[in-house]
Every structure is written in structure tokens, then in C-alpha cells.
Chain A
Amino acid sequence: MDESAIVVRNLYKSYGSFEAINDLNIDIPKGKITGLLGPNGAGKSTLMRCILGLIKPTKGDIEILNENIKTGIPSVFRHIGSIIEKPDFYTYLSARKNLELLAMISKLKADQINIQQCLDLVNLTGRENDKVKNYSHGMKQRLGIAQCLIHNPEIIILDEPTTGLDPEGIIEFRNLIIRLRDEFSKTILLSSHILSEIELVSDHIIIINKGRLVAQGNIAQMLNEEDMVIYLETDDLPRTESIIKNNFNSTALASEEFIQFNLNKEKIPNLVQLLVENNLKIYRLDTKRGLEELYLNITSTHQ
């Protein structure tokens, strides 16, 4: 089992009779990217804010790097960088001044401050003296990351960090956080609505719904446990459908152009062999690892 950077135990947060977080128990492994998933209002932001001390939990414990935040605040924040919903800045100041001020209140020693390195990392060198109010959305997002990294934290918490970014910006951002994990061994907790993004970068996922934990674990293991989604196009779709039904006991959805059905990935070679033996011409065979399906499946069963 991986060592945990963040441990949440029996966490509750209620607003009157509304339970935003309800008996939540999660573990966020060290040095990994953890994707936090859940529908709107599931409690993702509330959970992240609880971890960051922005919201006081009604009940329960949060440990960050083995330090309980009830007693550890504020020293524990030496180890955390975050962007919640959107990066926030003093927009009337320059990017460099924002970072300098932030370093100032982060209780860092002089040799721990490397503003230029942060600016280089997020490609803002050359524009660092511009006022932030003149920055584009993408630049602000990158500066937000620089802000997260200024005190060289072990843990980075990012709530919907790609909101509003253009496709290039999203790719750039994705590469950056992968780099942070691979080169700097950062622990990253990431929430996003874009499941494909989470799927592409995450090692671990946590799914919550209505404030409760629905699933958590290694993403590869979770997806392997489930059937793959197969999209199949042949020259004779009705016969293909019948073969699938008889041999794999799987219900296929047929359209005029292709058949869609679930199949364990170990059985794909058998399927291909059967189709060839039945002289069917295969025009297309697509598989999908299926986080989306997994997510929808899990959240719908926990409605």
C-alpha cells in the first residue's frame, strides 16, 4: 500500500440540515496524482477547502503528512500549494511582486525562495513585471501554478484548474502537472469535470457523491476490474450480434453502423478469432478503457 500524504477520517460538514460531507474516509497517496471526481454539489470543493483549512469541518479528522490540521495549522501549510476554483492574485501588482509577497508570508528562508525558477517553470519569464490585471486567462492559470510552487510544497491541491483554458492551455497544463509528479515527486490532488483529463494524468481516483465516498483506488486497477466497451463494425451486423450473444453472453446495442457491447479485455482475442472463423469482415474494432462509463456506472448506482 502506498504511503498517504493526506488522510481523511470520518469527516462531516453540514450547513444546517444539509450534509455537504458525510462520513468521508479517504487516503491520498504520496507522490501520485489523485483525481477527485463527483457530480456538481458532490462535495469536492468542500472537501478540498476542509483540507486547506478554509472550511471548518463539523466533525472528523484530517491528517496532512501525519500532522492533524486541528493542531498543525498553520505549520502544515508550509507543505501545501493550492488553487481553489481559480487562481487569486493582487491584480494591481506585477506577477513577480505577487510571488515575492507570497514568499514573504510563507515563512521561507532566503535560500528557499526561487521566484525566477517558478517563473521559468510556468513560462512567464519576460512578462513577470507586467501587472496581473493585464494577463490572459492562461497566463493567470500558469501564474497560479507558480504561486502554488513558490514555497516548494510537497502537496498541490488543484480544484478545477483547467476551467476556461483553451485546448493548448489544457495540454500545457496537463504536461506541467505530469512533470511536477515525475520530476519533482509532488503529491497532487486534482478535481476536474473533464473525465478524460483525469484519466490521462491520474494514478489514483476518488469518486464522491452527495458528500459520501463512492469509490477510491488505483485508476488502472479499477478500470481493469471492469469490462471494456467495444465498438465493432462488420459486413454483417445481425450475424455479428448473434455470435456475441451466443458466445460471450453479452447484450449488444446495435445501430445501423456498429455494435456496442461490454467485454472483458482478456476475451478480445477470442472475439476476433470467432469473427474471422465465421468469415466476417471486420471494418472497425474500437475499445475504450471507460472511466466515463465507470464514473457514470458508479455514480448512478449510488444515486
Chain B
Amino acid sequence: MKLLIFELYKIFSKPRTYISYGVILVIIFLIDFALLFSGQEYIDFLLNTFKDSFVIEGNILNGYMISYIILQTLIIHMPLLVALVSGDLISGEASSGTIKILLTRPNTRSQIYFTKWVTGELYTISVVILLGIVSLVFGIMLFGTGDLMVLKSDGVDLIQSDDLLWRFGLSMSLAVLGLSVVSTLSMMISAFVENSITPIILTMAIIILFTIIGTLDVPLFDLLRPYLFTTHMLVWKNLFDQDLNMNLIESSSVVLLVHILIFYSVGWYYFRNKDILN
């Protein structure tokens, strides 16, 4: 526990930790204010197809929709913010030499690795919670509540407001799970290198590569796609389907958990046997 407090104290003493929080708050406020002034045009543009057939009654541009827009906009960029901190957890200490302080105290390397991982997880959770809560609260303050209209490429799902909060809660948990893979991956890379920048760049490079593989319509990639964690990272969005596909949510969660387990094990094994030479 003391080791965890020690790790938390350290990351929350570093300015870079607050970059993510700052970026999230700035983006939330920017999107909120932009939609406050021109949100109706944006909605009209998106719902143009229906304008000949329907009158859509009710508060479409409500706090839930704003929060959903912010979530899906920001979560794409969250891996970078998470890697910024998780990628520094071990390599940052290696480059500054402080890893020697840690390893020459009465704690095992496994304890140290686990504590650092938990710290990365807590940071990831804090980022997602901040994103979720601020976007929801601020969105509701500015735009009120209402049903959530989820705009998909081939249709619209309308979820009733009394059916939303648990979906937001569970989707945040799934977003945390997805980002935990990123956090564990960047920490694993962090165990292998001696500088903080490589884990961040390498993590982002892997995510970009996997996303490209996941996006391209090539038969070979179709075989790979189910095994890439990036395919499952956006599973949180499935919580906003009118008819929940629990099988998909469960299988994606399992794939993400397996990735976390693999990345954790590889990083832990290497760190446990690593020679500290600098």
C-alpha cells in the first residue's frame, strides 16, 4: 500500500500527468461551446436524410448526446494521453537512475511492477472518469437531458433517457478496459527501454498500425482483425446500441483481458530478470 502511495505521489507530482487532464477539460469545453452555438446546424446536417419524412420532436442536442460525441471524439486520442504516463512508469525511472532507489529497497521486483501497473490503471481510470463525469455534468448543465440519439453510419438508435446512466457507466468501464491494454502495453515497452519517449512512440505506432490493418478491406487482414486489440477497444460503443449484443461485448472484453494478461506477463518477466546497468 505504501508502495502504491509512493507511486501515486510521484506521478501526481509530475506536470506531464496533468497534461491529459488539461487537454480533456479544454476539449470538453471547446466542444460544448462549439455545439452550443452551432450544434443545431451539425444535427441538421447529420439528420438531413430524415427531413423529408419526419418532424423530430424533443431535445436532440442534449447533455447525453454532447457527452457521447465528446466520448467518441476523445477516446480515440486517449491512448496517447495514457501512454504519456504509463510509458514513463519504468523507463522514466531508468533514465533518471531512480529505478536503483526502488530496487534497492525491501520490495520485490514483482511488487514494484504490479504497483506501477496499478498506478497506471488508476491513472487511466481517473482520466476516463474525468472525461465521463465532466462531459456529462457540463453537457447536462448547458444542454439539459433527453433521449440519446446515436448516429451510426447506417442508421439511428434512440435510447431513452432513463435507460442511459447505466449504459454510460458500463461503457466507461469498457473504455477503461480498452485503455488498460494501451497502458499495460506501454508499460511493457517501458520495461524494455531506458528512455521515456520510445514507449510512447512505439505504443502509438502499434495502435496506428493495428487500426490501419483493422480498417483496410484486405482478406488477409480479415483473418487478423479479430485478434487485434484495437478492433475491440471501441467495444464501449456497443453499449449504445438499442439492442445490446452481449456476446460481442463479452467476447471483446475477453480479448482485451487476454491482451492485458499477455502484455503484463511479458513486461513483468523481463523486468524481474532485467539487469540495471545505467
Contacts and interface: CB of A to CB of B under 8 A. Distances in A.
Interface residues of B, number: 24
Given A54-B100, A147-B101, A74 B107 contact: yes
A56 B2 contact: no
Nearest to A52: B104
B104 to A, nearest CB: 5
A93 B101 CA distance: 15
A289 B106 CA distance: 42
B103 A75 contact: no
A55 B106 contact: no
Given A49-B276, A90-B10, A105-B2, A78 B106 contact: yes
B6 A101 contact: yes
Interface of A: 49, 52-56, 73-78, 80, 82, 84-86, 88-93, 101-102, 104-107, 147, 151
A91 B96 contact: yes
B13 interface: yes
A88 B276 contact: no
A105 B3 contact: yes
Interface string B88-116: 00000000111011111111100000000
A290 to B, nearest CB: 35
A148 B259 CA distance: 40
A92 B96 CA distance: 11
A44 to B, nearest CB: 14
B5 interface: yes
Contacts of A73: 108
A89 B98 contact: yes
A105 B103 CA distance: 10
B49 interface: no
Given A77-B106, A88-B101, A90-B98, 10 more contacts: A49-B277, A54-B100, A54-B103, A54-B104, A55-B277, A74-B106, A89-B98, A89-B101, A101-B6, A104-B6
A106 B14 contact: no
Contacts of A102: 101, 105
Contacts of B13: 90, 92-93
Nearest to A13: B275
Contacts of B2: 104-105, 107
B9 interface: yes
The residue among B97, B98, B101, B103 with the most chain A CB atoms within 10 A of its own CB is: B101
Contacts of B5: 104
B273 interface: yes
The residue among B13, B14, B96, B106 with the most chain A CB atoms within 10 A of its own CB is: B106
Contacts of B107: 74, 105, 107
Nearest to A157: B104
A88 B275 contact: no
A53 B103 contact: yes
Given A88-B101, A92-B13, A101-B6, A55 B275 contact: yes
A101 B98 contact: no
B273 A56 contact: yes
Contacts of A85: 97
A85 B278 CA distance: 9
A76 B103 CA distance: 12
Contacts of B105: 74, 77, 102, 105-107, 151
Contact of A55 (B3, B108, B276): B276
